[in-house]
Structure 1
Amino acid sequence: MGAAMTARAPAAARRTHPLVVLLRSLLVVALVAAVALAAAVLVAPAPAVAGEPVEAAPAELPAAQVAWPEAARAAGYGVVGIDGGPDVWEAWGSEDAHPMASVAKLVTVLVVLDAHPIEGDSRGAVITLDADDVAAQARAVRENAPIAPVFDGMQVTQRDLVEWSLVDSAGNAIWSLANWAFGDMDGFAAAAAAWTDRHGFDDTVLADPAGLDARSVSSAPDLTRIALMAVADPVVLATIQLESVRIPGIGIAPNTNRILGQHDIDGGKTGTLKVWGRNLFVTATREVDGEQRRVVGIVMGTIAADETDAAMIGLLESLWPSFATRTIVEPGTVVAEYRAPWGASTRAVATAPLDAHVFADDAPGWSATVEPIEAGAVPQPVGEVRLERGDTVAPVRTASLLAPPDAWWRITNAPQVLGWYFD
């Protein structure tokens, strides 16, 4: 037999280097982290997108067609604010300051009532007249101005003097009112100057309370704004609407406004001065579209009374057709835009018309209030659009779907997307 074979021991298993193990582990962790991160990016909830209101484009409406009085040197009209809006006014002709004549009495009354208001139906303060008031009466007679007979010690009320001044145009009554209110004519002049300065009436000067002095001047723009202030004062408006007034020693004195009661004219003040001519302020009210509307008119520098009245009537009648109900926001008007960070966008539109009462092209503006929407949101109601005056609103909805961010945008904007988790 041959020699027995010797058994060989198995080779020892080779061991993996620890560094390789570490690298492999890190790779697995990185792959898991990458998958987790990608999943987080792909499923991150997109934030709601806020709507940005667009700038309101003014409605294009027709301008007023005004019959300006060619026989006058200057004129103006004003419209009392509609539905809480501002007063609208416009002047024409000479912009210079001209004698106010007795229309100055209207300004004086406003100055006095600013310092000494009359509340409600009160007759105001009780005033005891004296020798100065009797002397003022004599001066008015010399100026050939209307008067209210007075005597030393006579007691009258503040409203008596206002009514005699504005209805009968009594020159001494307005002097007594101003003298009582401010102590003397210097005090009145200072108060009048402060009042005109405060209200920005740069062309208006009261050299005397009655307008008998040709240096008591104003312009059509100033007087138009003053007329709007006059009708806004309940005491003044109620006074200039009186058809007549009772004056002791005279009886019933009619309103000097000859066209009171015609063409819806319900108030006003006349003025005449030989060196200038005639001025006329009136106010009228008429129902338009179921709403009462008030206008004022100023005509300056006419000659004959009939000419003055006709000019004013023509001016006022030309204003009424400019009152109308107009559509300010049409259905489908874009009122807001939604722009998402990932580039998707949609618009919010009005779904119903927004109408307003207007005068000529004085269209109110509008503003929209919209809520944020979610990514992928289908067209839906998001808010409302409202006019700047009045309480009229229309609903607003989005016009199209807001597309969500796609996977590629999410991955290429991963840091921003991951930040959504913390918003």
Structure 2
Amino acid sequence: TTPPEPEAAPPPEPPKPTTPPRPEVPPKPEAAPPPEAPKLTPLRGPEAAGPAREPEEDPRNPLELLAALTNKPAPAPTPLRAVVRRIKIWTPLAVLLVIAFVVAQWLRPLPEPSLELTAAETFMFDGDAPSVPWPGEGQAALEVEGVGTFGSSGDQEPVPIASVAKVMTAYVLLQEHPMDEDGDGASIPVDDLAEEEAGLAETDNESTVDVESGSTISQREALQAIMIASANNVARLVARWDSQSDSQDPFVEKMNEAAAELGMENTTYTDPSGLNEDTVSTAEDQVLLAKAAMDDPVFRQIVRMPSYVDSQGTEWNNWNGLVPVNGVVGIKPGTSTAAGGNLMFAAEQEAGDGTRLIVGAVLGQGPDPVDRSILVQALNMSDQLIRFAQGELTAETVLSEGDVVGHVDDGLGGRTPVVVTQDVQAVGWSGLEVGLELNEPEDGVPGSGAAGTEVGSLTIGDGPEGVTVPVALAEDLGEPAFTDRLVRVA
């Protein structure tokens, strides 16, 4: 056996390093204490909530510290300061709103000026209303166009009117086919039926004129035949021609439509000649038609003719025997067993500065006491009414030139007076009350103008047919002032 090796001896420990001695540092000189920070005034109010504490050292640079030192602390809030603060905030906004309001008021369109009547709205003639010589039977109505009405007599119930119906036939024909005053109008072909019906004058005692089938008659001659000769066959011919058919019904519908437009509430047409007993009306309704028909110049020309000569050389007398005596200018008689004697009439009379048109109707007259003719009785009663109206008409000056009758209202409180430019006469009769009305121009009342500028007219009487005179500014008319435009509400 091998003997164990002897254990190796541990290596010797290395020598410990020797720490050199630390050099002795001289003590630092004692630093001067930092300057004491300024004490800040503690905040009051909500910012001063909590206990006050010493300010900490402020690390800001000197400039910031300087700014902090020079800032003036906010004053304590008070009710007065709160009010002042609100005024400073809201005043600029209020100024802007005022400027916007002023601009808006200035730029708003001005209201349209208007004429306002300040004179009395009516004028009454002195005296009692006259007693009208009405017929003892039937019904009648009497009026002066543009002045007023004398009223009516009898029960205004629909009754047969016979050939007076032809007035509406002529009226519709002229409405559908207007004519020049110096022209002959359309050419109307004569059909077989019109020629055949000409013979009814002998067989049925109808009023007719001779016409030849295949020929033509002018519209003027057709109107003359209807209104002067009272030709039933021509009345039916023009109805068929206008309808462009063998039926006259479409034309009769137009007659009833025209009656409705004129306010003829108690009128019904069933034929263009009036021969049918169920073509009925009242005296008051026929006066409405008389005024409308006489507005047409061609109609006026024809009904005032005492006679005419047709295209075949035959002369036909007007059945209205009052034409042209005593200022009578039309219009149309009609008689039948059912209707009795009837007449729609028109006459003229000078009054004041113009000519007045008297219109009326007499219906349902019996035989004349002398010659027993129902037509003569209708003519006599109408003549009596015409002469009465002519004798009652008078004129009276109610306003003198320069009289103030109203003002121009600018819509903002400004009023400029207006005066009549000439004497104003009212036409009427004793006891009659007539109205006064200011009429504005078609293009409106001007917003400005010099004194004397015409700004409308004044009418005395019944509507546009009354006495009319211009009115003018009594003084200069200017646009509304700035203050008026500023404070306006409307």
TM-score interval for Structure 1 and Structure 2 normalised by the shorter chain: 0.5 to 0.7
Alignment-derived partner of residue 391 in structure 1 = 469
**Residues 147-186 of structure 1 aligned to structure 2 (within 5 Å):** 147-182=208-243, 183=245, 184-186=247-249
Q: Letter of the aligned partner of 1:317 in structure 2?
A: R
User: Secondary structure at the residue paired with 1:365?
Assistant: strand
Partner of 1:356: 425
Contact residue 78 and residue 89 of structure 1 kept, 8 A: yes
Q: Matches of 2:408 and 2:254 in 1, distance apart?
A: 54
> Number of paired residues?
337
Aligned to 1:308: 378
Q: Distance in 2 between matches of 1:293 and 1:209?
A: 30
Task: Give 1:194 deviation, angstroms.
Answer: 2.1
Structure 2 CA distance for aligned equivalents of residues 222 and 163 of structure 1: 23
Query: Aligned-pair distance for 1:141?
Result: 4.3
Q: Distance in 1 between matches of 2:281 and 2:251?
A: 17
Q: Would you say 1:236 and 2:307 are equivalent positions?
A: no
Q: Is the 8 A contact 2:132 2:388 kept in 1?
A: yes
Q: 1:120 to 1:139 in 2, by over 3 A?
A: same
Pair 1:285-2:348 in alignment: yes
The code of the aligned residue for 1:326 comes to: T
Report the CA distance between 1:190 and its aligned residue. Answer: 2.0
Residue 192 of structure 2 corresponds to which residue in structure 1?
131
Q: Deviations over 1:113-168 (max 9, x none)?
A: 21122222221111221222223334454431121112321221121111011111
TM-score normalised by structure 1 residue count: 0.67
Separation of aligned partners in 2, 1:201 and 1:250: 38
In 2, distance between residues paired with 1:386 and 1:233? 25
1:220 corresponds to 2:283: yes
Equivalent in the alignment of 2:124: 61
Structure 2: how far apart are the matches of 1:152 and 1:351? 61
* Match runs of 1:19-418 below 5 Å: 56-62=119-125, 65=130, 67-81=132-146, 90-139=151-200, 141-182=202-243, 183=245, 184-247=247-310, 251-303=314-366, 304=368, 305-320=375-390, 321-328=392-399, 355-359=424-428, 360-366=432-438, 387-388=458-459, 390-393=468-471
Q: Is the 8 A contact 2:345 2:360 kept in 1?
A: yes
> 1:239: Cα distance to partner?
0.7
- AA aligned opposite 1:365: E
Secondary structure, aligned partner of 2:179: coil
Q: Using a 3 Å threshold, how does the CA distance of structure 1 residues 356 and 365 change in structure 2: closer, same or farther?
A: farther
Judge conservation of contact 1:68–1:92 (CA < 8 Å) in 2.
no
The separation in 1 between residues aligned to 2:248 and 2:420, in whole angstroms, is 63
The alignment-based identity, stated in percent, is: 23
Q: Report Cα offsets for 1:29-88 as digits up to 9, x if no partner.
A: xxxxxxxxxxxxxxxxxxxxxxx9675433331376352423341111232337xxxx76
The code of the aligned residue for 1:91 comes to S
**Separation of aligned partners in 1, 2:455 and 2:189:** 61
**SS of residue in 2 equivalent to 1:164:** helix
Alpha-carbon distance in 2 for matches of 1:317, 1:166: 23
SS of structure 2 residue aligned to 1:362: strand
Q: What is the CA-CA distance between 1:222 and the residue it aligns to? A: 0.9
Contact kept, 8 Å, 1:205 with 1:218, in 2: the verdict is yes
Match of residue 12 from structure 1:
none
- Amino acid of the structure 1 residue aligned with 2:436: P
Change in 2 beyond 3 A, CA 1:164/1:328: same
Q: Which residue of 1 aligns with 2:71?
A: none
**Partner of 1:408 in structure 2?**
none
Structure 1: distance between partners of 2:301 and 2:285:
22
**Which structure exhibits the higher relative contact order, with contacts defined as CA atoms closer than 8 Å and separated by 6 or more residues?**
1
- Distance in 1 between residues matched to 2:116 and 2:174, nearest whole Å: 45
Q: Distance in 2 between matches of 1:384 and 1:191?
A: 40
